[in-house]
Amino acid sequence: MKFKVKDMDIASGSIHIAILHKQDAKKLDLRSGDRILVKDGKGEITCILDISESKKAVAPGRIGLFEEVLDKLGVKQGHKVSVHFTGKPESVKHIRDKLYGKKLSEKELLHIIDDITNDRLTAIEKTYFVAAGFANGWSLDEVVSMTKAMVATGQKIKFKGVTLDKHCIGGVPGNRTTMIVIPIIAAAGFTIPKTSSRAITSPAGTADTMECLAKVELSEKKIKAIVRKTKSCIVHGGSMNLAPADDKIIEVEHPLSIDAEGQLLASVMAKKNSVTANHILIDIPMGPQVKARTKKEALHLKKMFKQVGKKLNMDVQIMITDGTQPIGNGIGPLLESEDVMAVLRNNAFAPFDLREKALIMAGVLLEMTGKYRKGNGKKVAKEILISGKALKKMNEIIKAQGKQKRPVLGEHRFQVRAGKSGKIIAINNEIISKVARVAGAPEDKGAGLYLERKVGSKVKKCEVLYTIYAVNNLKLDLAKEFLQQGKGYSIK
């Protein structure tokens, strides 16, 4: 049966949605939530059906298509398409099997990941997939199979020779070591293309922070050219379709506030495998508000990352680091980018903790190449930083990617002060992140916090702990209102 296309001027965000009037749906014996195959002669796409009760929304003889469907089919208003009923994809059966605790095969996981990548599953079906993995766990073989499937269903960029990479599993505000490590390694002559994410629950991701300095949304062709020229890049991985199922799974995990171990492992390793990295350093922060809360949890994650790496023929090294408090002084894209550039410029006031951690990580990566003996990597990294070679390399990367105009720091400010005198014994990462986000980070590049005090510092009553920056009074007031739940500092 053929229908005239109506452009609904609505985007679902991912799922392919089509709408029929209730009369047409009844003729075809279709119900809301059924899958239909929409064909235009050149191509076809599986959509989830919604039903229109009114002729004003979608009239009989017409089919309303969301933006994702229009784009993929390449059709416009008034174009004629045919509609056919199609059953649920085979992957739904595999998800049901996982809910019952069955171990899934490589082929079954490929079915699921391919359907997630191509938006053939509903939000409910994807949620059950995530929940099944969270409840029943993933075996090592399943994690490896999921990783391979994520790589196979996206693009892959191959670089010649030794290719390095690093990743942090997150949770620590201001932990912007990547933007210091990358230019140090590239200045040493090694290839280290960095595809980074944007913030999901944090005040800034590496891509958000780098965007204060240079363009990060670049084509695969442009990225390859930049890496050939500078040995490196710091770009947004989402623009390159690398392991795209990963981002779609994260969308489901975020509102549920869950992060199944197997999916975390597959997520990290798939992104690294997609850029053919053969030496990878993983940063696992350990602390009360991060993914690895105890030494036991951190060591278990370390073991799993190394086992997955071995199965994929990737050299993986792990650093278990301090995740008990923020790193650096700035929290939020612009403020974090200023911390990074202060370190690269060898500024005397640059945050020591950020500089030290970046140098240790760069040292480990240099040793992983086999060109430097164990224990000598940090020394070499420090020499590169002090000599100015790392800053020169960073400026090369910024120029190659396209220099951006510096954002403006939020003009609306509020100083958060100590409620009593004493010693700072703890800083709550979750509260610090939340205050910065409520103030507008990362969407507002100039929003965030500047920390004046860290754990171990002595403070007097009414001394400034940190300053909040926002682009308008409304967001500043919201941040101040959130402070009623706690400032994030424990003083004893």
Q: Which pLDDT value is given to residue 238?
A: 75
Q: Which pLDDT value is given to residue 404?
A: 95
3-class secondary structure, 144 = helix
By the 8 A CB rule, do 247 and 209 touch?
no
Q: Residues near 290 by Cβ (< 8 Å), separated by ≥ 6?
A: 169, 170, 171, 172, 323, 429
pLDDT in tens, 103-125: 999 999 999 999 999 888 888 89
Q: Which pLDDT value is given to residue 253?
A: 84
Catalytic residues: 259
Domains of the chain: 2-86 (2.40.40.20), 90-137 (no CATH), 164-239+253-401 (3.40.1030.10), 412-491 (3.90.1170.30)
Residue whose token pair is 């199922």 = 245
| 321, β-bridge pairs | 285
351 burial class (0-12, 13-18, 19+ CB within 10 angstroms)?
A: buried
3-class secondary structure, 278 = coil
Tell me the two tokens of residue 186: 């590239």
Tell me the two tokens of residue 326: 């923020």
Please name the amino acid found at residue 107. Answer: K
φ/ψ of 242, rounded to 5, equals -85, 125
Q: Which pLDDT value is given to residue 237?
A: 83
Report residues of the chain scoring pLDDT below 50.
Answer: none
CA atoms 158, 310, 115, 193: torsion sign: negative
Q: Which pLDDT value is given to residue 29?
A: 94
| 172 vs 179: CA distance, rounded Å | 15
3-state DSSP percent of the chain in helix, strand and coil, to 5: 45, 20, 35
φ/ψ of 189, rounded to 5, equals 100, 10
| 421 vs 436: CA distance, rounded Å | 24
Q: Which pLDDT value is given to residue 456?
A: 96
Q: Which pLDDT value is given to residue 260?
A: 82
